[in-house]
Structure 1
Amino acid sequence: MKQTPTRGGDQPLILSDKQGFDRRWFAPNLKAVYVPSRYEQVEEYVASALSEFGHDVKIASGRHCYENFVYNDSTRAIIDMSAINQAGFDAERNAYFVDAGCENWSAYRVLLNRYGKTLPAGSCYSVGAGGHISGGGYGLLSRLHGLTVDHLSAVDIVTWDAALGQAKLRHVSEHSSSQEERDLFWALRGAGCGNFGVIVRYYFAKLPDAPDYATQWSFAWDWDKIDQMTFDRLLDLYAEICAGMPNTDFSLLKLNHVSNGQIGLLVQFAALPGVSFQQHCQQVDARVRALEKRFAAIAPAAALQRPMGGHPGWMHTTHSHLNPQHLTYLEALQTVNGSGPNQFGKYKSAYMNKAFPSCQKHQIYTWLHHQPEGMDKDALKQSLLQVDSYGGVINEYSSAATPVPQRSSIMKLQYQTYWNNDSLPGQRHGGSSREQAQAHLDWINGFYLSVYADYGGTPNPQNDKDGVVDGCYYNYPDCDLGTHENGKIDQAMELYFQENYRRAPRNLVQVKQQWDPQNYFRHAQSIPVK
């Protein structure tokens, strides 16, 4: 009898195999981890895993999923793509490539240092390409160059024919000979996360030239100088800036809980090709002075007291003064190249087409000052609402070009809360650990429900007559929106994909029916077959 591959083919499982990046997620019943290290092994391992463990097989690349889609009680086998982790140029395909197991930092370094190219992808260094790109891909250059999937030209993926018991490696693109493969390629550009097969490699026929320079400017406002009126004016100004900033610019507004002491802001200004360092500095300094003047009219700026937390853009270091830092592009990548420590976390998302309505500003301010009864006064110091600038080139694509329909938004929001304790792996859901987790979950869920109360408790554009909100981001999964188990999966999928879910002529449910009709590739928020 053929021996089931474990780690690397013959090594026994270790505790780390069962643990996700988020310490909340653990797979206690894991029996095998398949770790292909060569292309030709992927088909073999997919066939072996699905034949032996059926529907209880999951796929991992960087382990960063915000929910327990991979690491949960039902998982018995994992196909771990971390050993297929190269980036470069494929001469045969005449395209740049990034393997599914390649992490953000490795992809950036190779594409920049060898080819002078870059991806408009995320800033968290250890996030794996497998999930990040197939969910849309978004980062500090997306306003300038669009989403990562907007540059995707082809995908290598292993699909599973359950009737024949056969795994097959396919190269799919807009130029595939069959309509079914062209539809699959479309679906992989925003909804590929564990839904249709095992992605092996991404191809990009063209990539943007990397900037030579990028300037980063970070500062803060002290909470003790911000009342509700000042807060409202700050959010109004930030939305106005997001709607009108040059495409080269990107910003992260970190609305930390009041216990943190400060609100943080990071702005990055990327240089255009052909602009000298001196010219770039002059242009950026002028923009910074203009922004300083506008912000100063609302509240005085302060130096950051501590690193800014949160995803994306966890910053381990802070600038000690309020002046912009003119950097090479590689230095700029390194500055925001953080995934943060392994902690327990919960996340929620929202897109916004317009500035914050008064009711939302009031609720955000209220919940950032809310101190739950019985919770330590410093427990929410890392908790925040992060507001990223969006738009730019992203808005130049139609809502049907990829499964990602949010092509009119100017801001993208991520609600985040973090906590930690000394509980052992696999024993983190009982006693005081459970109470601690529940307190954080109650805070973030109450926060979210209150902000979107006028739309039914979520940023549902179908309930928004004013066109302010625009749904949620699939790469920031949130099981509270709905799952297969609680019967509300349609509700969640509509928030993520809107018409592209099942109402459009080309839709994700139809692609799922074609490529995985027996639903082998599934999780709590996977695309349903029916």
Structure 2
Amino acid sequence: MGQHTRRALIRAGAVASAAALYPAPASAAAPASCPPPLGPVSVRPGDPRYADLVRRGNRRFVGTPDEVRVVGSTGQVVEAVRDAVRQGWRLAVRGGGHCFEGFVDDPAVRLVIDLSGLTGVYRDPARSAFAVEAGATLGEVYRRLYLGWGVTLPGGSCPGVGIGGHAAGGGYGRLSRLHGLVADHLYAVEVVVVDQAGTARAVVATREPGDPHRDLWWAHTGGGGGTFGVVTRYWFRSLPRPPARVLTFTVTWPWEGLDEPGFHRLAANFGAWCARHSTPGAPENRLYSELILSRRTLGGHTLVGQVAGGDERLFDAHLAALGAGVGVTPSVTRETLPWLAATLGSESDDGKGWRLKVKSGFQRGPLTGRQIAAAYHHLTRTDYDAPAGSLSLNTYGGAVNAVPPTATASAQRDATMLLFYLAGWTDPAEDDRHLAWIREFYAGMYAEEGGVPPAGAYINYPDVDLAGGSTPWPDVYFGPNAARLRRVKARWDPRNVFHHALSVPSEG
């Protein structure tokens, strides 16, 4: 679950080679002699640890596997996959536990491989890169990279998200307008795969042009998790130094006194600002913000974000542009903090106590008048109430859009905004009502485009509803890269061992 979920639910309740610029301290490289890894630990029903291991994400989904295997090494992952193939068990992999859909907690899954023991972050001199094991959370990755070497990944802002799925889906965050996606810094990936004979083995794939495994590396730069094998480790190069300090801000425009034209102006102003200031290299790429348009019951619409380097003039200009003609006076708080303190934050609600449904859509340019009218209608409907219901408009582009759409599997390289739709509730008896609302909202936003965003959607915000639409869902998430991802799937997972509702289908 990302920054958008956390903040919405809380309201309701210079780049250079890492090897060249950041040599590892003598004590910071992977030690030559390590203690034994955690695991393997087999947890089955009846074990007091079982309940926690099968309920770590969206409360709508609770798993019932025969076993959860907690692993701490690549070799243990290979053995776990071999056991699943030998038993004919459906398997799934859990890193941070933040999946919005029930891919891991599917009743058909018999073995869950939990990567809680794979949390290492270190400089790997042999590959001139930083190694990050797939069970590490973003918070720990940021902490260790920064304190050890003064660098970071431009990833998401929820510290509890696992790097394993985040990087494989592209990985977008508050520094991405300055430094691109997490996947744009991926040099190599270690993956446990299964061949046609049913043999499990670990493969390292790099971005080197002559690497015969390069297609497997490419698939993990935006093809999503749970499709090609079990990622056990990533290697990253060209990691940026984060700013020493950031200006963080929260702005709220109250619903009280805000009429429909004012709502239209606020949403239109945000989209227009993004369209003007999302080209690679623009000074405004130092600013990241998200405008959370909420239902009336939540009191107002909130802008949150940060300015790298703490330039208050950039924030003031952003605020003035968004508030022009809105007709209500917002409340504003701002604070300048060291980067790591602002990144790790103090917010603890990451959405795990909620029943959730989310959707996403990339946007090229501002929202249309029809889209804003649809948003206003669904956020002010009197026949529906929800503890949390919102549409977040998020700044995008910048350095993300400097990369060609086929260079990585992350194809959306011309968007200026990323839209995030959220419904959150707690009562299982109300599932149908809340699901209906967000589905109607989404359909209304794209009524003239066949019900799907023409600029595509973000695979790290998976939405199984797209699998039942008239547009093939791989085209929505992967655009021109869908066919190539199918070929990679056919090569590296010919038996379809690794699959879920939105895993890449095989060629043909």
TM-score normalised by length of structure 1: 0.83
Q: Given the superposition, is the C-alpha separation of residues 93 and 12 from structure 1 closer, same or farther in structure 2, using an over 3 Å criterion?
A: farther
Q: Distance in 2 between matches of 1:337 and 1:117?
A: 23
Task: Determine which of 328, 349, 372 is the counterpart of 1:300.
Answer: 328
For 1:216-231, list aligned pairs within 5 A. Answer: 216-231=248-263
C-alpha deviation, 1:53, in angstroms: 3.5
Task: Indicate the RMSD between aligned Cα atoms, in angstroms.
Answer: 2.1
Q: Equivalent residue for 1:499?
A: 480
Amino acid at match of 1:439: R
Which of 76, 81, 97 is the aligned partner of 2:110?
Answer: 76
Does residue 132 of the first structure (1) align with residue 126 of the second (2)? no
Residues 48 and 241 (structure 1), Cα distance of their counterparts in 2 relative to 1, 3 Å cut = same
* Long gaps (5+) in structure 1: 272-279, 304-321, 422-432, 462-469
Q: Give 1:206 shift.
A: 2.2
- The match for 2:495 is 518
Deviation string, structure 1 residues 179-234 (Cα, Å, up to 9, x no partner) = 3x111111111114101100001111221012101001211001122222111111
Partner of 1:255: 293
Q: Is the 8 A contact 2:58 2:351 kept in 1?
A: no
Instruction: Determine the C-alpha separation between the residues in 2 that align with 1:71 and 1:190.
Output: 22
Where does 1:38-437 land on structure 2 (aligned, <5 Å)?
38-54=73-89, 56-163=90-197, 165-175=198-208, 177-179=210-212, 181-245=213-277, 246-271=284-309, 280=310, 284-298=311-325, 299-303=327-331, 322-335=332-345, 338=348, 339-372=350-383, 379-421=385-427, 433-434=428-429, 436-437=430-431
Cα gap change, 1:174 to 1:341, in 2 (>3 Å): closer
Q: Percent identity?
A: 34
How far apart, in 2, do the equivalents of 1:136 and 1:337 lie? 24
Q: Tell me the distance in 2 between the aligned counterparts of 1:12 and 1:295.
A: 51
Distance change in 2, residues 1:99/1:232 (3 Å)? same
What SS does structure 2 have at the residue aligned with 1:6? strand
| 1:99 partner amino acid | E
CA distance in 1, matches of 2:231, 2:73: 13
Q: Does the CA-based 8 Å contact 1:243-1:391 persist in structure 2? A: no
Q: What is the CA-CA distance between 1:513 and the residue it aligns to?
A: 0.8
Correspondent of 1:15 among 12, 30, 51: 51
Q: Residue 494 of structure 1 aligns to which amino acid in structure 2?
A: D
Deviations 1:69-96 (A, max 9, x none): 1101111111111210121212222211
CA distance, structure 1, for counterparts of residue 143 and residue 205 of structure 2? 26
CA contact (8 A) 1:252 1:265 kept: yes
More deviation in 211-220 or 12-21?
Answer: 12-21
Amino acid aligned to 1:443:
W
Amino acid at match of 1:445: R
TM-superposition CA deviations, 1:487-515 (whole Å, max 9, x none): x697111100111101xxxx111111111
Q: What does the per-residue CA deviation read over 1:389-413, in whole Å, with 9 as the maximum and x for residues that have no partner?
A: 0000001011101111110000000
SS at match of 1:155: strand
* Structure 2 SS opposite 1:498: helix
Paired residue for 1:310?
A: none
Letter in 2 for 1:173: T
TM-score (norm 2): 0.86
Which residue of the partner structure matches residue 34 of structure 1? 69
> Which amino acid letter does the alignment assign opposite residue 449 of structure 1?
A
Aligned pair in 2 of structure 1 residues 225, 381: CA closer, same or farther (>3 Å)?
farther
Q: Distance in 1 between matches of 2:316 and 2:500?
A: 49
Tell me, which stretches of 5 or more residues in structure 2 are unaligned? Answer: 1-39, 278-283
For the residue of structure 1 that corresponds to 2:93, the secondary structure is strand
The secondary structure found in structure 1 opposite 2:477 is helix
Change (3 A) 1:233 1:140: same
Q: Which amino acid aligns with 1:70?
A: V
Q: Which residue of structure 2 aligns with residue 314 of structure 1?
A: none
* Residue-pair matches, total: 460
Distance 1:301 1:522, change over 3 A: same
How much does 1:177 deviate?
Answer: 4.8
**Given that residues 450 and 457 in structure 1 are in contact (C-alpha distance below 8 angstroms), is that contact kept between their aligned partners in structure 2?**
yes
What is the CA–CA distance in structure 2 between the aligned matches of 1:239 and 1:497, rounded to whole Å? 24
Q: 1:112 to 1:451 in 2, by over 3 A?
A: same
**Correspondences of 1:413-492 after superposition (within 5 Å):** 413-421=419-427, 433-434=428-429, 436-459=430-453, 461=454, 470-482=455-467, 491-492=472-473
Q: Alpha-carbon deviation of 1:336?
A: 7.2
Following the alignment from structure 1 to structure 2, what is the Cα–Cα distance between the partners of residues 417 and 144? 30
Contact map agreement 2:258 2:328 (CA 8 A) in 1: no
Measured in 1, the distance between the counterparts of 2:132 and 2:287 equals 26
**Equivalent residue letter for 1:35:** V
Q: Aligned-pair distance for 1:155?
A: 0.4
Relative distance call for 1:192 and 1:267 in structure 2 (3 A) is closer
CA 1:478–1:270 in 2, change beyond 3 Å: closer, same or farther? Answer: same
**Which AA in structure 1 matches 2:340?**
L
SS of the aligned residue for 2:472 comes to helix
Secondary structure of 2:264 counterpart: helix
**SS of aligned partner of 1:224:** coil
Contact 1:508–1:527, Cα closer than 8 Å, also in 2: yes
